[in-house]
Structure formats: C-alpha cells, structure tokens
Structure 1
C-alpha cells in the first residue's frame, strides 16, 4: 500500500478494517518522510519502486496486490512495468500517469497551495483541507474545521499546517515521471482505477485516461469526492477495492 506526497503509511488506516480480515497489509512511510531514513539527494520514482520491492523481499513475498494513492499510484504503475511478475493486481486511486498533470500550476493549485505554506497555522490547515476535500466538506465554523484538521492529521501523519521536509523532493520526483506511453503493457494485470469527481490535484479525467489505456481496467468514480476520498469516503472506496481484490 503506497501513499502519496508527504503522506505517511498511516494514510491507509481507513482501509485496514475492510482489508485485514482478508489480506495481510503492508503500509509504510515512503523514502524521506515519517520513520523512513532522511535523504540528502533527489528522490526518483524508480527509487521509490525499488524501496517497495525491497520491502516485499523483506516480507518474503514473491508477489502482492499493489495499491497506490496519488504519487503512490504512479509508483504502483512503474512497479508493475518494471516487475510485472510481482503484481497480482493493481489498484490506482486518485492518480495520474504523467506526473506533470498533477504538479503543473492551475489557478486552484497555485492560490490554494501557496496558502498551505504561508500565513497562520489555522489558515494553513484550512487551505490544506481545501486542497484535499470538496468545498462542501470543509466546515465554515473555525472550531469544527480545527477538529477536522486534527482528526485528519492522525491519518496524514503530520499537522496539516506543516509540510514534511522532503515533500518538495517527492513532488519533483512525481513531476519528472511519465508512465503514459507504456500503460498498454499492463494488459492482463487486473486493474482498478478509482477517481474522485471533484479532485483538483488528480482530476478524474486523468483516472479515466489511465483506465482507457490499460486494456481490461475497471474504472470507478466517487461522486462528490475529492483527493482525500480514500480517507473521508472510505466506505465507498473500500467496497470497490475489496471486490476487486477478491476477484483478482
């Protein structure tokens, strides 16, 4: 289970109640964040793929169902391209094939993203919520908003007012990667693509494009949801994921 930029392995906690009765789940902190070793050089997607494969080796797993969210979805795609024999199935959530589709500046990403870095701590938390949730799920009341930010922080693995130190390195790795020319090679791997209707970080059109590019892929779109759908809409996401895994 591979997470996105700046998110720790705790980001998968909402999936565990649905999956652990059926599967052994391995979630981890990507290189440079959380309890993983700090890095002093640029991070690349191939490095992150090798990290995931090394963790599988450490568990003695020849193969596994690979699940990725956001940047983790890009890592999952590249892992399947580089080590197809180790992939039982793919689940790609709120992600893209071409990294720049998630990192290039749109007005929303620029103005909201800037506010996650500057200003008061409550203001930065509000901007972060606006990045990952649809507008109707961001409370107008400051106290309710603070409570929600505190709750989500336990899943993201950090105070939403602060970015992990290596988040920029991970963003740069994402921006530099592109699996889109190679997705048709993933034909035959059971693949589920989940997108969120209102996602402004990995818009649903890019999820649809991935599903169309991988022969036989299944596509599910969560209505009214945004980039944080696997956390805040876990019920719907988990139904789709569990059904996919049990059939694969």
Structure 2
C-alpha cells in the first residue's frame, strides 16, 4: 500500500509520505541532503512488508514538500517526524535516517526518547554535526547553486568508483527534487549544530551502517561518535558501498537493517528512557 499526503488539502503542514506494508513494527525512513524520499526507491521492492510498515517521508524543501516554508533545520524536521507519527497513530516506532536524515532521526530520539524503538543511521551525520575544513566547506556551501559541486561531493563520497552517467543522474535528481534555498539552510543545521549531549547515554538500540568507500561518514568517525554515545550501539560496514548504500548495495543494506530491526525483545519495547 502506498499513500501520498496532499498538502494543499491539509489544514496544517504534514510531512508528505508513502506507506508501505502493514506489519506490526512501524518504521519511519528519512532521506538525506541530496534527495527526497525517492532516495529509498532502490530498496522498496524488497522490504519485508509483512513484518514492518514503513513510512518514507519528504522533509521540508524536498519532493512533495519542496515548496514548504520552514526553518529547514534538524530540530524542525524531528518535530515534523513526531507529528507524522501522531497522525499515523504510531505511539512507538523505529527510525532509519540516511546522512542528514540520520541527524534528524537522532533529533527525534532527543525530543521523544520514549517513543523510539530502534534507531538506524545509514552513513549518518553524527549528533555533533560535521566539521569541514575551509576548502570542503566552500564546496558544500556553494552546492546549492553549482551542480558541479554536487557531483564532486557524490563522487568523492563514493570513492571515485562510480560511472559518470550515475553521477550525472544523481545530480539531476538532486536538483529536481530540492529547493536551493532550503538545501543551503539544511547544511548549516546538519553540519553546524551539536546536540550530542542530548542523546549521549541513550539505551535505545542504535545501528550505524556505513560504506567502506565513504571517506567522510565512515567506520572511523562512527567509532569516535556513535559507538561512544549510544549504550547499545552497533556498527556494520558494507565493503562495496560508499555514501549511497541504497543505490550501491541495496540488498546488503536491507539485510543489515531489517536483521537489526528484528532484534526486538521485550526489553526494547520498554526502553527509550532519557539519557541520564
């Protein structure tokens, strides 16, 4: 089942989303900086829809929410995700966040820890943000208006191993589904804001899935951040993937994520206390 939300007919803003499956374990999936919810398209056909029900969302400034006004911050995004869970009647849910979406997912944990069942970051931006050297910051900060910068970022973060046509397609999609002003504002939030003190010590099971070819958000960074902050953290490295595991190794990603989500005992269902 796939359901879209028509913002024009809604009395207040709601995250546009697609619902897939009807399983008892509810999961909200949040895309990254370069794409809308179509980022998850390569994995959708092979998800376990009997065990899980997925809500795949468009953040403000992307996809069906491309023209939505907002602050375009991870805090706002997290509040929007919680509001969507309320709309769906999901008291408890797991989260999957790719890259920037990983930061949004961690913000959800910070504001509603009792509601998060399990947390998955796919090449997630740490809750401390991501400090970039001046030359890299310039590359990222001008990517809103320079398609070549977007292409360079995608190429570097996939190890320079992907074909030119794929890089071009990724850039074209990024330009089509994102609003340039929102795209730039999101960067300041996910890269520059540090809220790790609000999630440090959380007992919610938390998996980071990274690609071996990604020099930016890889295993080393996760060991310094994710694995230190989450009391029940796990790390999986996909050897053939870079930053875009959904495109590069979709089946391996599904297996890693859904195997983790299935590790759900009674203790997980009652966990989620605020970090002490």
TM-score by length of 2: 0.73
Deviations 1:43-81 (A, max 9, x none): 222111110011111111111111111111111111112
Q: Could you say which residue in structure 2 is the equivalent of 1:142?
A: none
* 1:24 alignment partner in structure 2: 53
| 1:85-96 alignment runs, 5 A limit | 85-96=114-125
My pick for the range that moved more, 44-53 or 33-42, is 33-42
- After TM superposition, the runs of 4+ consecutive aligned structure 1 residues lying more than 6 A away are none
Distance 1:79 1:151, change over 3 A: same
Q: Unaligned stretches of 5+ in structure 1?
A: 140-144
CA-based RMSD: 2.9
Aligned pair in 2 of structure 1 residues 212, 50: CA closer, same or farther (>3 Å)? same
Corresponding residue for residue 247 of structure 2: 231
Q: 1:206 aligns with which of 206, 215, 221?
A: 221
Q: Return the alpha-carbon distance in structure 1 between the equivalents of residues 33 and 171 of structure 2.
A: 14
Q: Distance in 1 between matches of 2:217 and 2:260?
A: 22
1:48 to 56, 77, 82: 77
Quote the offset at 1:199 in angstroms: 1.7
CA pair 18-179 structure 1, distance change in 2 beyond 3 A: farther
Instruction: Compute the displacement of 1:186 (Å).
Output: 1.4
Distance 1:87 1:100, change over 3 A: closer
Choose between structure 1 and 2: higher helix proportion: 1
Q: Secondary structure at the match of 1:25?
A: strand
The structure richer in strand per residue is: 2
**Aligned residue number for residue 191 of structure 1:** 206
Distance 1:83 1:6, change over 3 A: same
Equivalent residue, structure 1, for 2:100: 71
Whole-angstrom distance in 1 between the partners of 2:246 and 2:40: 8
Deviation per residue, 1:61-112 (Å, 9 max, x gap): 11111111111111111111211121111101112324542x5236556558
The gaps in structure 2 that reach 5 residues or longer are: 1-28, 265-276
The Cα of 1:150 is off from its aligned counterpart by 5.7
1:90, 1:192 within 8 Å by CA — same for their partners in 2?
yes
d(CA) in 1 for partners of 2:116 and 2:97? 12
In 1, Cα distance between the equivalents of 2:200 and 2:154? 35
Q: Could you list the per-position Cα deviations for residues 114-145 of structure 1 after superposition, in whole angstroms to 9, with x for gaps in the alignment?
A: 68854xx6x567425414422122x3xxxxx2
SS at match of 1:81: helix
**Equivalent position of 1:182 in the other structure:** 198
How much has 1:225 moved relative to structure 2? 2.7
1:15 maps to 43
Please identify, of 204-213 and 50-59, the stretch whose mean Cα deviation from structure 2 is larger. 204-213
1:111–1:35 distance in 2 versus 1, CA, 3 Å: closer
**Is the contact between residue 141 and residue 187 of structure 2 (CA under 8 Å) also seen in structure 1?**
no
